[in-house]
């Protein structure tokens, strides 16, 4: 089962990109972030025509998450973080073929020390407690999404700039990610690749993609119970080369069996 995460930065604009990538990559499950669509505008009929069922939690203009599953049911759908009041639609979970999928659009945080940064850390704290509950109920768990955190210096093009006081790489953010991983969640990409300089996001500004000035902030985490089944993981750069692309590329993991 191939499981992927993609921040599309407006599903309205990127539906043709998603369609092309679904045809080419043939994922079985996809977590989408930044749909930027109210639920009544979600293109579930179009996706059904491509063989994908969908569940979604969206809002106008900002945020919005969805999970797609090819020819499989999406059961026990959870929208939002239980017990955490949040206007922003950033979390959705569902069970597919006995694998629990949690799809996160982690708060960006703007800059270290801002209100949005404090919200990011609060939000990650709530996610930690939620994932502990999810793991207890569903040992076969995949947590994926736009984490808006680069795990370590291999995941940034310039560690001198992207340092312990910079957003997406600050100490508190990386500590929060490590705390999630300490629940028993493993970065699938790092189970198979140790090289530096493989990225999933490139800023639209300064020709960052052409210069390969990126970060790896889109992750697929697999639980202890799935670790041995995560036989392959990667990031698809191609969609970032297409006309009018998202600033993110899809990250994926393949579970054997």
- Of 23 and 210, the one with the shorter C-beta distance to DNA is 210
**Minimum gap (Å) between residue 63 Cβ and DNA:** 7
Residue 115 backbone zone (phi > 0: left; psi -120 to 50: alpha; other: beta): alpha
Distance CA 4, CA 2 (A): 7
Q: Does 20 bind DNA (CB under 7 A)?
A: no
Q: Does 17 bind DNA (CB under 7 A)?
A: no
The candidate with the shortest Cα–Cα distance to 43, out of 73, 24, 26, 22, is 22
Instruction: Tell me how far CA of residue 48 lies from CA of 19, 36, 54, 139, 222, in angstroms.
Output: 11, 20, 8, 29, 27
| Binds DNA by CB under 7 A, chosen from 23, 40, 61, 71 | 61
Q: Does 205 bind DNA (CB under 7 A)?
A: yes
Q: Which of residues 135-174 bind DNA (CB under 7 A)?
A: none
Q: Which stretch binds DNA (CB under 7 A): 54-62, 91-99, 176-184, 188-196?
A: 54-62
Q: % helix / strand / coil in the chain, to the nearest 5? A: 30, 30, 40
Contacts of 84 (CB under 8 A, 6+ apart): 123, 126, 130
| Binds DNA by CB under 7 A, chosen from 4, 5, 6, 9 | 9
Q: Does 57 bind DNA (CB under 7 A)?
A: no
Q: Does 122 bind DNA (CB under 7 A)?
A: no
Distance CA 1, CA 99 (A): 10
Annotated catalytic residue within 105, 155, 187, 247: 105
Residue 165 has which token pair?
């006081």
String marking each residue 219-248 x if it binds DNA according to CB under 7 A: -------------------------x----
The candidate with the shortest Cα–Cα distance to 153, out of 168, 140, 136, 141, is 168
Is residue 105 flagged as an active site residue? Answer: yes
Contacts of 134 (CB under 8 A, 6+ apart): 93, 100, 102, 141
Is residue 28 flagged as an active site residue? Answer: no
| Binds DNA by CB under 7 A, chosen from 62, 79, 97, 166 | 62
The residues assigned a catalytic role are: 105, 146
The site for DNA (CB under 7 A) is made up of 9-10, 12-13, 36, 60-63, 107-108, 110, 116, 204-206, 244
């Amino acid at each position: 089962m191939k499981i992927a995460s993609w921040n599309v930065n407006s599903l309205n604009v990127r539906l043709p990109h998603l369609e092309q990538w679904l045809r080419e990559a043939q994922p079985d499950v996809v977590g989408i972030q930044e749909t930027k669509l109210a639920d009544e505008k979600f293109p579930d009929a179009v996706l059904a025509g491509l063989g994908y069922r969908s569940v979604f939690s969206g809002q106008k203009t900002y945020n919005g998450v969805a999970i797609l599953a090819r020819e499989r049911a999406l059961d026990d759908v959870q929208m939002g973080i239980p017990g955490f009041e949040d206007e922003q639609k950033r979390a959705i979970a569902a069970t597919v073929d006995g694998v629990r999928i949690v799809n996160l659009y982690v708060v960006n945080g703007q800059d270290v020390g801002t209100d949005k940064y404090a919200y990011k850390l609060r939000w990650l704290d709530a996610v930690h407690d939620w994932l502990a509950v999810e793991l207890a109920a569903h040992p076969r768990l995949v947590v994926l999404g736009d984490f808006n955190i680069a795990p370590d210096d291999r995941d940034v093009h310039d560690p001198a700039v992207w340092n312990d006081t910079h957003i997406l790489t600050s100490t508190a953010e990386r500590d929060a990610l490590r705390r999630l991983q300490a629940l028993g969640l493993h970065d699938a990409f790092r189970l198979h690749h140790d090289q530096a300089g493989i990225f999933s996001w490139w800023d639209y500004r300064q020709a960052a993609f052409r210069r390969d000035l990126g970060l790896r902030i889109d992750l697929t985490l697999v639980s202890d119970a799935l670790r041995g089944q995560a036989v392959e993981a990667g990031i698809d750069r191609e969609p970032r080369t297409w006309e009018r692309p998202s600033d993110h590329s899809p990250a994926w993991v393949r579970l054997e069996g």
